[in-house]
Structure 1
């Protein structure tokens, strides 16, 4: 069996099926597109349903992929077994009406056992087949040559994931030996397909002959199809000879990093700690990839899964003595492990870390108290001689500390207890609205919750119609303490009524002044947030005397309010415009409305093109120039939904909502401020569009004065370019730049030709200097050329001359080392592979690389090591 790492195994699988005429399909987002039957992508075939059901015809009926997947149906078993994972990669090859059993079964055997590929021991492989599938059994026996005593009939061998393609399947098992087993050798389950750890299922070949329709019917596919699934983690475990998936190179770096963060805990020291290490490693991978693909923690759907996984990881970190936020620190480790095939993880790691760290911090604030309460509850239930935790107690843990009920049940199970789920659901239903409000308030107000939640002062927001008002000062808070007056410093205050807008829904808070009866400004309002009981809580810099019971004049900074309001209206116009241009799958994923700009995050699978952005701009500006009236009214939420109003913030609404209507163009639930007409915006201009995570994009834009200033700045830049390229007319600048680019391209070609000539001169006599290395001939040299391109050109010349068995060239370029290895066809037939040589010599230049058997290349950051690399090549070749 070959010694391969996970990245090599994944690539080898794809390369094998590419050699069989398959197109490689990139791994799709974990978030299903247009497939309401799935919460997550849970298999390789799940992303290809459109091909199998005939709604889309693939360009090539032969497809292969390595697809990231999530399954959470066995989440409680993760860490407790050798194989259960929430996130995994499924290697698959697929035929859409092309090849079938006679081709796919021998191919599977070839990939697994051929020395050119994995080279597994044939005597350790077993297969199972569906009892009625006599054709598959015949091929395994008569064509592949597998003896009948290694082919097992299993009634469960019928693959069906719900809606989509299905049919009989054949599973392939690897015998790891009785030493890996968890049952006796004479146990009835000790066979391939039985409940044991000895026989590892590594591949499932599905002969897709039917389609499972949403109404439950099974119908014949127009064509017979093939889809296969091979778990990368299991395959790596087999090849690396580990007892579980978690000792492989896919997990151990995560576990080792967790060890370094723990209180001296070590993996493999005891079973209890090992479970926690495994759970953390698995969940770190899952949440990293899920957030990278655009999912965010929340209380519903995918977001609830993420929240639960993050909290499980935090709880298990606590068991290992980790008292600080740590899960986010595992993101770059996951990214480094997976970067060969998923470089986007490291690219988006800052965003992923931010989301995870925020969620960790939110949970950790209440974790200690929650665990204490759960332990007390468990102790009381046991003391009473009972085995069931009351539903009310489980709900209190959720409502007060954010413990998902599944987590409570899981921790209770460790003590042999269960949870009254019916009672939990009754409490949840009875107090859903109050629970949501309490959670939201606690998260927004942090450590001041207890004090602020005790303040029940009535306060009215008058800012819908007024930007200044007289109001009585009801409460003053300084350093988390209620006081009667304050003379200086920072304080928080609540008035009986206020025109100051409290930050909500992405719109920033109003700023302004608090003026006393003498007309003196006694405080500056710098922020406004919602207090737990709904009042607008003003943060103020006190410059004079404030005391409770006194009446003050509140003045909102008018220009700031106007600019924020205009940008808020622009976000509504932008949201609708994006849906019109990109499609209804686009949804808001966050926003920020500042005085000087707006930021709008939205879901979209793929980059937004410049043409699409131009369309969006034109649509928004058209609505501005149409001078649409902007109106708002409060109404029951069900009535608002019937009128077609869009809910922008999901579960943050009560029974009565405020609906903002912009002419005939846009109608949304909204609690922000707006001008009375779109004409107030003047102009809208997008200043930037970027990806902030897989499946999530961000647009930044400006309106009014800022839009004019942005365009003026762009015009000034264009004028500068015109001066540089000596163009008198701005309209002529593009043509002038294009001409200069053409000249530059010609110059580059001339330089390349000179570099090639120089390389050829350096190579003069090089191909006559072959030296022996064992039984092979070798030409090696360090040259002074521009880079890898010139080395490849020399390798092409070497190949035509047939000057030696192996060629090893090196050069230093831009303070980096470039290495190239080429191998003749004759040497390849004797087992020499360029990739093996390059991997052996690249460390000498502190680098790495790979390639095909006939040619491989590597880069390194230590050019001084080139002579050692060339010397190592002689040694490696001589030892073959």
Structure 2
């Protein structure tokens, strides 16, 4: 049975039993503490924990997941994979254990003709928690008691690891037969090879207290008991397809076999090759699905994980002997295997493949540069007598060249050296902690998020009026002390003039930073006091926090005040955000639908937009995009916001921003009808003419397959064009030419400069020829070798090389070596030229240049007869040349 068919049957089975079918959430996790969605229950956490009311009593989904904690183990065993799919059914205070067990049994053992999976009921072995008699009794209706095993907390108890919901589990295992191990059920099979776990039913029924590991108190039963289940789709697929593991199922094996064909191998013939083939098959599929969900390669967070996966796949193919680009061969195979379940990987393949192929090409270039740095580090380590790379060197390879640590480890193992992984991990941890601290400080200041959660629990969510008004009468619910600017009166913080704090209001007109739009500016005023609003964030879902600077009076909880947004600021912010939508629509109209937005930032007067595209825009494309955008502004298209469900929005043609997470109800902003429809929570103008002038100010690369455009908007757009006009007028006055003749005048000046450069080059050549004779006549005998060293001033590397070769040719056939160094513009060029006689005496130009370059703060290398290098310390030239002469003399005496 194909994987897509198992998926369909699962959803249909639970839909018939009253479950709402919920589409898979993005691989980009809605939980800020997670990079990716790592389990099927992640999108339902707010409902399972009771933080939010569930919109339906029972639900079912097949959730895309990515886990990368064990990425180094992928391929080494057939158990580890990064991308997987988790089938789940959920009850939010509706049914409980007996129904969950019945639903699972009916699907697993149901006849194929009736929509079931057709597994042999005699091979089903359930496990339950030690004292969970309720689950044991429920299973007794289907399975004899001797096939139901009780297990402890390590296997059959679930909790988040912190105080909160918890409860026992019941796992469903399938007996694959004696060829996979001895009998005796799951308890007798610690590896799980014979008794394969295919489904885990979690019964959330208790409130647990704090504790370490599996030791924690049970405080009581939850007011509402929930069901959370997870069936591993890949595991069920390899059972029903009669293969041994997930790498051999229909959604993975085609990539594995295509990779083997490219390498001229047969899967199963060699263990080491099989490991690499499995890495390729897993990582190519994971890369496909991550890019489909809007992740792009980068050096941090999700982007780094994706980059690491793609580069591990490319590196593995290279180690299998395939030097040509491989993703163009493998990614389409994965697309075809996955499109039955996820049609978007086919419809969006132009964008997906462009990003992946660009990343492979960048890595192929990186391998050349990074390998050179790696080889140098290895040589230095060996020369120092410590065949190990430091954590700093490994981190430099990662941070500068994008080398995943496992690539560095593989290369080190091939060279017989070790790597200080602990040092590398420490540096990586420091970098991540700095980034997290910056992000955390932006959202919550220096305050623990629990302070906001307490306010939310006590007062409920903020009454947010940003779409409707710029003014509200509000009350301070809480003052969150950020530093030492607040004093305490009766345990309540009081902030006086000059102090900066964060306040939570019962209602607010202020827009909190999100969706690329900066927060509103404005004021809070009250009887005898005034505060400037300098930032607005949402530290926890549902709550708005205002960072303010008190200008007059005192601010404390309970203060009745007026919240007023700066009208000009809001208008300019609306212009920038609506301008972003207009620019996105213009890019798609000019370049095509694959030019999808992948990120944005807008503030009053300025916007930037990142989008999927290969290569720089031409000058004409930039003009066309700007023209289309400004034509839309002049047309004064109507702007309106609509609310609908996410499936309705997709059917409506609304574009969702990659990497964002959305609830069931979404807001669609429409400009000019279907011309621009995007999911968006930002503030916007009423008509596109309000945007004003939109002037493109820049276009650049921001990574593989991604470009960035920047624009000035509204009054700032006009000012930008005015500055450009003034600059043109000044140039015309300076060059004494009409404005429309500036280009011709500048081209003429450049032609004259090029002619002058050629004349200067000819003069330098003549000077070099004249110097060659003098240098040749200065040759000194060092052990039977005619040695010339010199330091002509102001010569480039190319000119110095020509001079060295000329001098060498003048010295005849007797052994001769010429080493010259020259300083120009603060840099040093070094060249060594040896004739065949000197090479036969054991001298090597590359070693001489390396020696000299070390004295001038650089490095170099080359062939035995000619080598070149450089440095940055001209003061070291005399010592460099002296060391060369001494070395030649010692080597030839």
TM-score (norm. length: structure 1)? 0.53
Partner residue of 2:428 out of 301, 323, 327: 327
Summarize the alignment of residues 162-561 of structure 1 with structure 2, pairs less than 5 Å apart.
162-164=257-259, 165-166=261-262, 168-169=264-265, 204-205=320-321, 252-255=388-391, 281=394, 285=397, 326-327=427-428, 357-359=434-436, 444=444, 447-456=447-456, 457-458=459-460, 459-478=462-481, 483=492, 488=497, 489-516=499-526, 522-542=530-550, 543-544=552-553, 551-561=560-570
Structure 2 partner of 1:133: none
Summarize the alignment of residues 836-847 of structure 1 with structure 2, pairs less than 5 Å apart.
836-847=847-858
Summarize the alignment of residues 558-569 of structure 1 with structure 2, pairs less than 5 Å apart.
558-569=567-578
The answer (yes or no) to whether the contact 1:169–1:206 under 8 Å persists in 2 is: no
C-alpha displacement of 1:361: 7.0
Partner residue of 1:740 out of 730, 743, 749: 749
User: Do structure 1's residue 719 and structure 2's residue 729 form an aligned pair?
Assistant: yes
The answer (yes or no) to whether the contact 1:510–1:556 under 8 Å persists in 2 is: yes
When residues 250 and 849 of structure 1 are mapped into structure 2, their CA distance, relative to the original with a 3 A threshold, is farther
- 1: CA distance, partners of 2:374 / 2:680: 55
The answer (yes or no) to whether the contact 1:511–1:527 under 8 Å persists in 2 is: yes
Deviation by residue 1:117-161 (Cα, 9 ceiling, x = unmatched): xxxxxxxxxxxxxxxxxxxxxxxxxxxxxxxxxxxxxxxxx9974
Corresponding residue SS for 1:763:
helix
User: Do structure 1's residue 683 and structure 2's residue 679 form an aligned pair?
Assistant: no
User: Do structure 1's residue 660 and structure 2's residue 669 form an aligned pair?
Assistant: yes
Structure 1 partner of 2:176: none
User: Do structure 1's residue 855 and structure 2's residue 863 form an aligned pair?
Assistant: no
Structure 1 partner of 2:783: 774
- 2: CA distance, partners of 1:173 / 1:770: 61
The answer (yes or no) to whether the contact 1:505–1:649 under 8 Å persists in 2 is: no
Gaps of at least 5 residues in structure 1 are 1-38, 40-70, 87-157, 175-200, 218-228, 258-280, 294-312, 330-352, 366-440
- 2: CA distance, partners of 1:558 / 1:671: 19
User: Do structure 1's residue 865 and structure 2's residue 866 form an aligned pair?
Assistant: no
Structure 2 partner of 1:393: none
The answer (yes or no) to whether the contact 1:159–1:206 under 8 Å persists in 2 is: no
Corresponding residue SS for 2:448:
helix
User: Is 561-570 or 583-592 further displaced after alignment?
Assistant: 583-592
Structure 1 partner of 2:659: 650
Summarize the alignment of residues 46-65 of structure 1 with structure 2, pairs less than 5 Å apart.
none
- 2: CA distance, partners of 1:670 / 1:827: 73
Corresponding residue SS for 1:652:
coil
When residues 161 and 769 of structure 1 are mapped into structure 2, their CA distance, relative to the original with a 3 A threshold, is farther
The answer (yes or no) to whether the contact 2:390–2:420 under 8 Å persists in 1 is: no
Structure 2 partner of 1:704: 714
The answer (yes or no) to whether the contact 1:531–1:537 under 8 Å persists in 2 is: yes
- 2: CA distance, partners of 1:857 / 1:617: 48
Partner residue of 1:75 out of 71, 86, 94: 71
- 1: CA distance, partners of 2:825 / 2:791: 15
Summarize the alignment of residues 558-707 of structure 1 with structure 2, pairs less than 5 Å apart.
558-581=567-590, 586-648=595-657, 650-663=659-672, 664-693=674-703, 696-707=706-717
- 2: CA distance, partners of 1:706 / 1:236: 47
Q: How many pairs align?
A: 547
C-alpha displacement of 1:661: 0.9
- 1: CA distance, partners of 2:382 / 2:70: 17
User: Is 651-660 or 751-760 further displaced after alignment?
Assistant: 751-760
Structure 1 partner of 2:105: none
- 2: CA distance, partners of 1:838 / 1:515: 72
C-alpha displacement of 1:521: 6.3
When residues 643 and 796 of structure 1 are mapped into structure 2, their CA distance, relative to the original with a 3 A threshold, is same
- 2: CA distance, partners of 1:568 / 1:711: 20
User: Do structure 1's residue 761 and structure 2's residue 744 form an aligned pair?
Assistant: no
- 2: CA distance, partners of 1:233 / 1:564: 43
When residues 248 and 670 of structure 1 are mapped into structure 2, their CA distance, relative to the original with a 3 A threshold, is farther
- 2: CA distance, partners of 1:763 / 1:657: 78
When residues 494 and 742 of structure 1 are mapped into structure 2, their CA distance, relative to the original with a 3 A threshold, is same
C-alpha displacement of 1:610: 3.8
C-alpha displacement of 1:548: 5.4
When residues 758 and 690 of structure 1 are mapped into structure 2, their CA distance, relative to the original with a 3 A threshold, is same
- 2: CA distance, partners of 1:314 / 1:658: 50
User: Do structure 1's residue 818 and structure 2's residue 829 form an aligned pair?
Assistant: yes
Deviation by residue 1:788-812 (Cα, 9 ceiling, x = unmatched): 2322232343465463533222223
C-alpha displacement of 1:835: 1.7
The answer (yes or no) to whether the contact 1:237–1:248 under 8 Å persists in 2 is: no
Structure 2 partner of 1:350: none
The answer (yes or no) to whether the contact 2:501–2:548 under 8 Å persists in 1 is: yes
- 1: CA distance, partners of 2:559 / 2:475: 6
When residues 715 and 235 of structure 1 are mapped into structure 2, their CA distance, relative to the original with a 3 A threshold, is closer
- 2: CA distance, partners of 1:494 / 1:838: 67
Structure 2 partner of 1:341: none
C-alpha displacement of 1:585: 5.2
Corresponding residue SS for 2:787:
strand
Deviation by residue 1:592-650 (Cα, 9 ceiling, x = unmatched): 22113123344544444444333332232222122211111111112112222122253
Corresponding residue SS for 1:628:
coil
Corresponding residue SS for 2:773:
coil
Gaps of at least 5 residues in structure 2 are 1-34, 36-66, 83-252, 273-316, 339-363, 406-418
The answer (yes or no) to whether the contact 2:582–2:629 under 8 Å persists in 1 is: yes
Corresponding residue SS for 2:791:
strand
C-alpha displacement of 1:731: 0.7
C-alpha displacement of 1:876: 3.4
When residues 770 and 317 of structure 1 are mapped into structure 2, their CA distance, relative to the original with a 3 A threshold, is closer
- 2: CA distance, partners of 1:237 / 1:810: 24
C-alpha displacement of 1:732: 1.1
The answer (yes or no) to whether the contact 1:173–1:202 under 8 Å persists in 2 is: no
- 2: CA distance, partners of 1:693 / 1:855: 38
C-alpha displacement of 1:764: 2.9
Query: Once superposed, what is the RMSD of the aligned Cα atoms?
Result: 5.1
The answer (yes or no) to whether the contact 1:568–1:673 under 8 Å persists in 2 is: yes
C-alpha displacement of 1:658: 0.8
C-alpha displacement of 1:670: 0.6
User: Do structure 1's residue 749 and structure 2's residue 758 form an aligned pair?
Assistant: yes
- 1: CA distance, partners of 2:600 / 2:374: 47
When residues 567 and 232 of structure 1 are mapped into structure 2, their CA distance, relative to the original with a 3 A threshold, is closer
When residues 589 and 851 of structure 1 are mapped into structure 2, their CA distance, relative to the original with a 3 A threshold, is farther
C-alpha displacement of 1:563: 0.2
- 1: CA distance, partners of 2:575 / 2:404: 32
C-alpha displacement of 1:567: 0.3
- 1: CA distance, partners of 2:658 / 2:773: 71
The answer (yes or no) to whether the contact 2:510–2:536 under 8 Å persists in 1 is: yes
- 1: CA distance, partners of 2:621 / 2:470: 38
When residues 751 and 536 of structure 1 are mapped into structure 2, their CA distance, relative to the original with a 3 A threshold, is same
Deviation by residue 1:505-559 (Cα, 9 ceiling, x = unmatched): 1211112223447xx7633322222242513222333323556556543321100
- 1: CA distance, partners of 2:374 / 2:827: 37
C-alpha displacement of 1:762: 2.3
TM-score (norm. length: structure 2)? 0.52
C-alpha displacement of 1:748: 2.1
C-alpha displacement of 1:830: 6.6
